[in-house]
Amino acid sequence: MHQSVIRRIMRSLLLLLLAQVIQLPASATALLTRRPSADDGYAIFEHPGKMVRLRGGNRLSMYCIGEGRPTVILETGFGGGAYADYHKLEPLVGRFTRVCSYDRAGYGFSELGHDLPRDLRHDVLDLHDLLKASGEPAPYILVGHSDGGHIIGAYSDLYPKQLAGLVFLDAAVLLDKKQLANAPAAIPAAEQAFFNQQLTQIRGCLARTEKASGLLTPRAGDYCLSPEDLKGLPPAMRQAVIEQLSRPDSWRAWLSEAEQHYDNPSDRWEESLLPHRWRHLPIRVFIASIPPLSDAEASVVFGIPAADRKALAEARAGRREWENLQARICEFSEDCRTFRIPTMKHEVQNAVPQQVAAQIEGLVEQWRRARDPQA
């Protein structure tokens, strides 16, 4: 799913994570502040990658470059398409080891088939199926952005022997049962109304693409496909996005993922995997750390009227809790480092790709030295 579509529903994602006891501000539109330039590595994603068939029959598009072990696997956030999250990071990692990203079922060039519902359990099992069918050998360093943190965290609990490291990129993750014990009993009515509005928009896009005889035409303010969705993209990537957002399966996948989040949260399945077995697993955590903001600045960042001091205070507190929760990841590993990056960009890997790549390279070299101390 393209980045500006995610931006338009980011408020609902953040409120959803709040319901899962993972706090974010009420709106994060300003976290996504800078469009990447056309030469940032989109060529990997302009055409289908290696099409890997899952046991269910559908094929996922996998984008792999580079050589060497261990293999780095890049997991996307809410929305499931690889190019927006990893067009900067993947080319850098491919310089020193094998690295693969992929589009989750229905997104990008991947086929949806009957691969539903799009819940956390399905995502984790699909990833396991994909890695096995692709022939990409373990061990893996799993990298997860945003909601992808849930996926790599759950995967590491199910398949700990396959892992050489974890990297969380401003990521959501369930750490312990204490988070669930403090969960709100119900989503506030205003938030639920916003969820319902987003679901209605997504269903509308699905209906339009099902009825369309050709590709959607970008229109200003169009939830399904606007010029903003294509801004800054090179021609081949632009055409790919138009084709992808014109496919009904893109919207079926998005709708299922949203419905599972809003109506059937997966945290109880995720809870069943606890406690984490990360004590001896090297972990790196990158946190997008918003600097102190005036009321006027916070109003823009969080999408809250400047006069609503109470709501602004709650948003600031929520953001602090979100950042502090990520920092707690290091409580579960003896080899963990946290990097607080002063940025308004939720895609912290796009804000400091060189720094993220350097830490991944360090994990790669650490694994190689453990195998061959003379290396």
**Domains of the chain, start order:** 3-370 (3.40.50.1820)
Interatomic CA distance for residues 307 and 311, integer angstroms: 9
Q: Is the pLDDT of residue 23 over 50?
A: no
Highest mean pLDDT among 49-53, 81-85, 304-308, 339-343: 49-53
Question: What percentage of the chain exceeds 70 in pLDDT?
Answer: 84
Q: Is the pLDDT of residue 241 over 90?
A: yes
Read off the pLDDT band of 265 (50, 70, 90). Answer: low
Which pLDDT score is estimated for 6? 40
Count of Cβ atoms closer than 10 Å to residue 137 Cβ: 12
Q: Is the pLDDT of residue 29 over 90?
A: no
Amino acid letter, residue 132: K
Using a cut of 0.95, tell me whether the model's pTM lies above it: no
Q: What is the distance of C-alpha 85 from the center of its chain?
A: 7
Residue 316 CB contacts under 8 Å (≥ 6 apart), including other chains = 25, 293, 298
Which pLDDT score is estimated for 36? 36
Interatomic CA distance for residues 370 and 130, integer angstroms: 27
Which pLDDT score is estimated for 195? 80
Question: What percentage of the chain exceeds 90 in pLDDT?
Answer: 60
Do residues 211 and 248 make contact, with C-beta atoms less than 8 angstroms apart?
no
Q: Which residue has the higher pLDDT, 35 or 89?
A: 89
Q: Is the pLDDT of residue 27 over 60?
A: no
Q: Is the pLDDT of residue 149 over 80?
A: yes
Which pLDDT score is estimated for 318? 77
Q: Is the pLDDT of residue 7 over 60?
A: no
Give the least confident one: 66-70, 139-143, 320-324: 320-324
Read off the pLDDT band of 262 (50, 70, 90). Answer: low
Best CA proximity match to 352, nearest among 365, 339, 361, 364: 339
Give the least confident one: 28-37, 64-73, 355-364: 28-37
Which pLDDT score is estimated for 75? 98
Best CA proximity match to 238, nearest among 222, 227, 249, 251: 227
Per-chain mean pLDDT for the chain:
85
Whether the CA torsion 316, 317, 322, 328 is positive or negative: it is: positive
Which pLDDT score is estimated for 32? 28
Q: Is the pLDDT of residue 186 over 60?
A: yes
Q: Is the pLDDT of residue 310 over 50?
A: yes
